[in-house]
Structures are given as C-alpha cells and as structure tokens.
Amino acid sequence: MTAVARPPVVDIQSVGKVYAQGDVVFEALKGVSVQIGQGELVALMGPSGSGKTTLMQIIGLLDRPSSGAYHLAGRDVTTLSENERAEARNEDIGFVFQAFHLLPRLNLLENVEVPLTYAGVPPRERRERALAVLERVGLADKARNLPSQISGGQKQRVAVARALAGRPRLLLADEPTGNLDTRTGEEVMALFGDLHAEGTTVVIVTHEDDIGAYAERVIRVRDGRIESDRRQVPKVAHRPPAIGSAP
C-alpha cells in the first residue's frame, strides 16, 4: 500500500463488511486497510460489485464495518451510536452525489443553507456562510435562482457549495460527473482541483478512468480488497470560457 506522509483524515484498518440475507452471506469487504491524508485528492475506483461503494459508505459513516477499525480525523468512529455518527457526519464530512439532490422550491442560497439549519447555525451566520461558498464556486450572482433555472453543471456546483458550507474535513463525491456531459464534467473536476489546491481533502468515487485521471492518487478495489494504490501526475482540468453555462 502506498505510504501517506500527511496526517490521515481517513484511517481504516483491517475492515471487513459482511451482508447476510437468510442463508446467503456476502463478504463485501475483506480486511481492507487504507489511509487518506489531509489535503489529498483521491479517486476510489472499481467495477460494479467490487466493494468500492461499500467502502465509500463506511468512509462516509453511512454504514458500519463488520470488523476492523476506522478512525476519522484521529477519532475512533467504529462504535459510535447512531446519533454520534450523525453528528460526526454533519461536522466532518461533506457529500456530493450524482443526482444533485437540490430542493426544487428553494432558491440556491436556501438550498445551501439547509444543512446549516439542521446544524443549528444562527440565521445571519447561515446566510453569510452560504453566500461565501456560492461565491467560492462562482454562483453568488445566481443565489436567488431556483434549481430549474440553472444548468446541470451549475447544479453540481451548488451541491459542492452545500457540502462545503459545513466546513468539513473530508469532501466525499459519489460519481459527481455521472449526470453531466464531458465539457460540464470537466468544469466540476476543475472545481475539485481548486479545492484540493486550497487544502481540502477530496475523495471521488468513480468507475470512469478519465475522471480518475484528475486525482493525484488512485485506489482500486476489486473483490472486496484493495487491488492497487498508486500515485500519479494528475490531469489538469481546463475550464471552457463560460464556466457552468452548458445546458
């Protein structure tokens, strides 16, 4: 396994995951150990059924390992209660999904504010933080627009802003370009590259080699194990002149 010089945000040791349905037992992960350091841009890759989605769900505290240990930012999260896990997710992890999950009746600013509302952030601070992250992703001028009034690439940028609003230690993106055309997908990958350059830890779950090429490190999962873990010179995403304008 590739050594990680930076302090690990994700530290998974000998993690196994078993699913049982009646007499059928499926071992999705088999003694997986992996570390992801502060500020890394990592692609987590593998074919369907490889275990990468299960590993992503464990990293994101959406599922529990059957065995092994998981430390998130130095904290043992393996045996947390459901309430403690929800709190840790809210504090430490920002999620970006393929389907955007924007609320259609809320404008972009209000969509970004939603997780801050659940976190109990006061209204004034909530509004300021939401505007700041919309500015960061280049959409402050569209804060009052509804999701139906913007492009697919812009919707994903709003989803990234919403994830960043909570100031997470880890940004976890699951197939973030899956619903986007090539040009718009490159815009989103350029944004992830910017966040990485600013020191954000980014893990992108993808099955696409051309998306994995943008990462500085690629972890491949197959048959429930880490098949390879290598560093590479990342491809640079070049933004088209009109960012986020593709329909």
CA 200 from chain centre, in angstroms, equals 11
Local confidence band at 21 (pLDDT 50, 70, 90 cut-offs): confident
Report CA 50 to chain centroid distance, whole Å: 19
pLDDT band at 2 (very low <50, low <70, confident <90, very high): low
Give the other-Cβ count within 10 Å of 7's Cβ: 12
Please state the domain extents for the chain. 10-100+172-231
**Mean per-residue pLDDT, 114-141:** 92
Quick one: tokens of 165? 């609003």
Provide the percentage of residues in the chain whose pLDDT is more than 70: 93
pLDDT band at 236 (very low <50, low <70, confident <90, very high): confident
CATH class of 10-100+172-231: alpha beta
Average pLDDT, the chain: 89
What are the tens digits of pLDDT across the range 162-198?
A: 999 988 999 999 998 888 888 888 888 988 998 888 8
Which of helix, strand or coil describes residue 228?
strand
Over pLDDT 90: what percentage of the chain? 66
pLDDT at 1: 54
Confidence of residue 24 (pLDDT cuts 50, 70, 90): confident
Closest CA to 106 of 138, 164, 150: 150
Question: In this predicted structure, what is the pLDDT of residue 7?
Answer: 64
**Rg, Å, the chain Cα set:** 18
